[in-house]
Amino acid sequence: MLERFYQIVDSPDWLTRLCPQGLRLAQLRIKDKSHGDLESLTSRALQIARAHQCTLVINDHWQTAIELGAEWVHLGQEDLDVADVKAIRKAGLKLGISTHTEAELDRAQAHDPDYIALGPIFPARGKQVDYAPQGLDRIAQWKTRISCPLVAIGGIRLEQAAEIYTAGADSICVITDVLADADPEARCRAWLQASSQ
């Protein structure tokens, strides 16, 4: 069963801070690093996560995930163009896939993912995205069409958590709402409390 709160981080240092707060599901999203740096950072992140019984999902870098014995990988639609999903499955990894449109949902489902992410639910705060906000109704629609857990992501604040869970999301994934907070540890704890109700 997927945890109800899901945090994306860009460094193992965040796991050092947030895992002790009780974080049990995180994604490591590292961009623009050499292979050596990527391998080193991913290895360290896996060590920290495992020490805290936190499930770590590796974003994009499926070969590194396989090499280091990770349990999960997350692919965006553009990553599906180049990823070897058969190799990912043969290695025993679980798979999450991003979706934004009906066509992308159909494509994702063809890979029998372990979760499907839908976003952005609200206007994204942390990065430029090419898709309009999906809104709560789309969560409910997606939920009726899939058999795996549904992850809501994009522009979400803690104060919106209850309505997103009510709409049908199994898990809520955030970046900015915790990492840009004045007290990320406290914000993470508040998310964990909200997601346990």
- Omega of the bond prior to 12 within 30 degrees of 0, cis? no
Question: In terms of C-beta density within 10 A (0-12 exposed, 13-18 middle, 19 or more buried), how is residue 95 classed?
Answer: buried
- How many other CB atoms sit within 10 Å of the CB of residue 110? 11
pLDDT of residue 160: 97
For the chain, the domain total comes to 1
pLDDT of residue 48: 98
How would you write the pLDDT of the chain (197 residues) with one tens digit per residue? Answer: 799 999 999 999 999 999 999 999 999 999 888 888 999 999 999 999 999 999 999 999 999 999 999 999 999 999 999 999 999 999 999 999 999 999 999 999 999 999 999 999 998 765 666 788 999 999 999 999 999 999 999 999 999 999 999 999 999 999 999 999 999 999 999 999 999 98
pLDDT of residue 53: 98
**Which residue intervals of the chain are DSSP H helices?**
12-18, 35-51, 62-67, 77-80, 85-90, 102-109, 135-145, 161-167, 176-179, 184-195
- CATH code of the domain covering residue 22: 3.20.20.70
Answer for the pair 129, 99: CB distance below 8 angstroms, yes or no: no
- How many other CB atoms sit within 10 Å of the CB of residue 22? 16
Domain of residue 169, residue span:
5-195
pLDDT of residue 127: 61
pLDDT of residue 22: 98
Burial of 151-161, coded b for 16+ CB within 10 Å and e otherwise, reads bbbbbbebebb
Q: From 167, 71, 77, select the one nearest 122 (Cα to Cα).
A: 167
